[in-house]
């Protein structure tokens, strides 16, 4: 059974046509993992996404963060290798996938302009 926050985030992302197919959440789950965010690489973050798991620091984080992280899952559904490897060649703040995820959360909350899918590296 899907977490309600996943369904809400999916509905938000379904408003966007940035990728050829809609995000699929059937095998995606949210895991609350405060221990993960005590580790040095993740201390400054509240969320982290893999291909099928969205890790959150705490259970009461904003829907915008879940939308942001689900956007990363969506990106990985289309670019399963390129997207994660992009962090090795782009700084976090300049990473086009991060920019798109931030845009997804902002635009679907009713503010800002939609950005296109990230360009190929």
Residue 70 has pLDDT above 90, yes or no: yes
**What mean pLDDT comes out for the span 95-111?**
92
Q: pLDDT band at residue 102, thresholds of 50, 70 and 90?
A: very high
Give a yes or no: residue 117 inside a domain.
no
How large a percentage of the chain has pLDDT more than 90?
A: 81
Give a yes or no: residue 96 inside a domain.
yes
Q: What is the pLDDT of residue 3?
A: 78
Give a yes or no: residue 23 inside a domain.
yes
Among 93, 79, 89, 106, which residue's Cα sits nearest to residue 20? 79
Question: What range does the domain containing 71 cover?
Answer: 4-108
Q: pLDDT band at residue 2, thresholds of 50, 70 and 90?
A: low
Distance, in Å, from the CA atom of 106 to the CA atom of 89, rounded to the nearest integer, reads 25
- The token duo for 69 is 């992280």
- The better pLDDT of the pair 26, 2 is held by 26
Q: Name the DSSP letter for residue 66.
A: H
Give a yes or no: residue 32 inside a domain.
yes
Give a yes or no: residue 95 inside a domain.
yes
Distance, in Å, from the CA atom of 108 to the CA atom of 12, rounded to the nearest integer, reads 6
Give a yes or no: residue 46 inside a domain.
yes
Give a yes or no: residue 14 inside a domain.
yes
Number of domains in the chain: 1
Q: What is the pLDDT of residue 112?
A: 43
Give a yes or no: residue 65 inside a domain.
yes
């Amino acid at each position: 059974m899907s977490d309600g926050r996943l369904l809400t985030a999916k509905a938000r992302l379904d408003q966007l046509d940035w990728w050829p197919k809609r995000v699929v959440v059937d095998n995606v789950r949210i895991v609350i993992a405060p221990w993960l965010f005590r580790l040095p690489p993740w201390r400054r973050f509240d969320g982290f996404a893999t291909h099928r798991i969205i890790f959150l620091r705490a259970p009461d984080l904003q829907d915008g963060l879940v939308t942001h992280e689900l956007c990363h899952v969506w990106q990985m559904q289309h670019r399963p290798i390129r997207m994660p490897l992009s962090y090795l060649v782009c700084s976090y703040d300049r990473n086009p996938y991060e920019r798109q995820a931030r845009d997804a959360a902002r635009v679907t909350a009713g503010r800002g302009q939609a950005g296109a899918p990230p360009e190929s590296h």
